[in-house]
Amino acid sequence: MVSIKDIAKRAGVSISTVSYALNGNDKVTKETAAKILQAAEELNYVPHAAARLLKTKKSNMIGIFLTDFEGNFYGNLLQGVKEYVSSKGYDLLVCSGPQSRRLISERMIDGAIILDATFSDEELLQYANNGHKAVVLDRELQHPHINQVLLDNKAGATLAIEHLIEQGHDNIYAVSGPAGSYDALQRLRAVHQAIERVPGLTFTVLPGDFTKSSGEAAAQRIAAEYTRPAAVFCLNDEMAIGVYRYIRTHTDLVIGKHIHLVGFDNTELAQFIEPRLTTIDYSMPKWGALASEQLIKMLGGEPVENERIYVTLVQGASVTAATGT
């Protein structure tokens, strides 16, 4: 592998001159610089990132940590992150799994974006204490080196429940999320608040874990005890899809008539399914872009405030007005 030493030899100068020339330092004359650049070109020199990192302590890479690679849930988020960070001269590494965390502690990346419930708060705080910067998308964590960019789960869940109530529904189910999920917890809490505001509702919480199959299980339960139209708020679209699948294949009930359904995330599938799923929408790319903006500001030592991503309700035919009582 060719190093600056080789190119120094070929250009007949010292390695420091090469380094200067390569980094565009104007201490070196145009002629020698040209000579050096040419030599570098001829040898097709590429710098060794590790060596530079060792010295400069800056990798110009940022990492985003996801629970897994499944679903196209994250595609737009990643796109948002990538575009922003590369406009700032950073590279993006997408990471998943416990092993890849060494990228943080071993200083391969300059900062991290976390959307991965398998990180514990303690672990993250530990990294922060060791000087690593991060922005978290899935929890609240107070630390000078940690910034938050969170979904407005409360608003979303409230919109969902209020929409069902406005449509005249009074037999309401919520399908919850996995135990460790911050988003699920926030949403469920808001659901309870919205429900309690209106007297006379029948309300049931069914367990769920954000997977299709848990949606199916919930649908089975709902179908089994069906006596009158039910309104179901699944805490994410994935589970709502599970409900669709079960209701359609195992019952004679009809979504949008007997079962009224609301999801959360506005995934691609939600838009294509028939009838279209009523759900909570927000901008994934914006979420990603904002998160990376915050992170890069932190890396530059700028002060940042915690941010929030706003949500809206998109209506589909999966919810219609209740007919009489």
Contact footprint for a copy of itself (CB under 8 A):
1, 44, 46-51, 53-54, 59, 68-76, 78-79, 82, 86, 91-97, 99-100, 102-103, 105-108, 126, 130-131, 241, 244-245, 268-269, 272-274
38 interacts with DNA by CB under 7 A: no
Find the binder of DNA among 41, 42, 52, 189 (CB under 7 A): 52
Q: Is 325 in the site for DNA (CB under 7 A)?
A: no
| Residue 34 near DNA by CB under 7 A | no
Among 10, 17, 214, 282, binds DNA (CB under 7 A): 17
Residue 284 to residue 300: CA distance in whole angstroms: 24
Does residue 89 belong to the site contacting DNA (CB under 7 A)?
no
* 127 binds DNA, rule: CB under 7 A: no
Contact between 5 and DNA (CB under 7 A)?
yes
Q: What angle do CA 172, 175, 180 make, to 5 degrees?
A: 145
Nearest distance from C-beta of residue 170 to a copy of itself, angstroms? 30
Nearest distance, CB of residue 54 and DNA, angstroms:
4
Shortest separation between residue 91's beta carbon and a copy of itself, angstroms: 5
Stretch that binds DNA, among 16-24, 142-150, 180-188, 204-212 (CB under 7 A): 16-24
Question: Cβ closer to a copy of itself: 74 or 163?
Answer: 74
Applying CB under 7 A, does 51 fall inside the site for DNA? yes
Q: At what angle do helices 182-196 and 153-166 cross, to 10 degrees?
A: 40
Residue pair 251/223 in contact (Cβ under 8 Å)? The answer is yes
Q: Which does 205 bind (CB under 5 to 8 A by kind): a copy of itself, DNA, none?
A: none
Q: Applying CB under 7 A, which of residues 34, 54, 179, 198 lies at the interface with DNA? A: 54
Please state the closest distance from residue 61 (CB atom) to a copy of itself, in A: 8
Whether the Cβ atoms of residue 169 and residue 229 lie closer than 8 Å to each other: yes
The count of residues interacting with DNA (CB under 7 A) is 29
Question: In angstroms, what is the minimal distance from the CB of 206 to a copy of itself?
Answer: 22
Q: How far apart are CA 189 and CA 154, in angstroms?
A: 8
Can you give the three-state secondary structure of the chain, one letter per residue?
CCCHHHHHHHHCCCHHHHHHHHCCCCCCCHHHHHHHHHHHHHCCCCCCHHHHHHHHCCCCEEEEEECCCCCCCCHHHHHHHHHHHHHCCCEEEEEECHHHHHHHHCCCCCEEEEECCCCCHHHHHHHHHCCCEEEECCCCCCECCEEEEEECHHHHHHHHHHHHHHCCCCEEEEECCCCCCHHHHHHHHHHHHHHHCCCCCEEEEECCCCCHHHHHHHHHHHHHCCCCCEEEEECCHHHHHHHHHHHHHHCCCCECCCEEEECCCCCHHHHHCCCCCEEEECCHHHHHHHHHHHHHHHHCCCCCCCEEECCEEECCCCCCCCCCC
Q: Pick between residue 100 and residue 118 the one whose CB is nearest to a copy of itself.
A: 100
Instruction: Say whether residue 102 binds DNA (CB under 7 A).
Output: no
Task: Work out whether 87 is an interface residue with DNA (CB under 7 A).
Answer: no
Q: Which is nearer to a copy of itself, 126 or 193 (CB)?
A: 126
What are the backbone angles phi and psi of residue 263, rounded to the nearest 5°?
-115, -160
Q: Which one, 41 or 68, has the nearer CB to a copy of itself?
A: 68
CB-wise, 46 or 254, nearer to DNA?
Answer: 46
Task: Please report, as ranges, the residues that interact with DNA according to CB under 7 A.
Answer: 1, 3-5, 12-17, 19-20, 22-23, 27-29, 31-33, 45-48, 51-52, 54-56
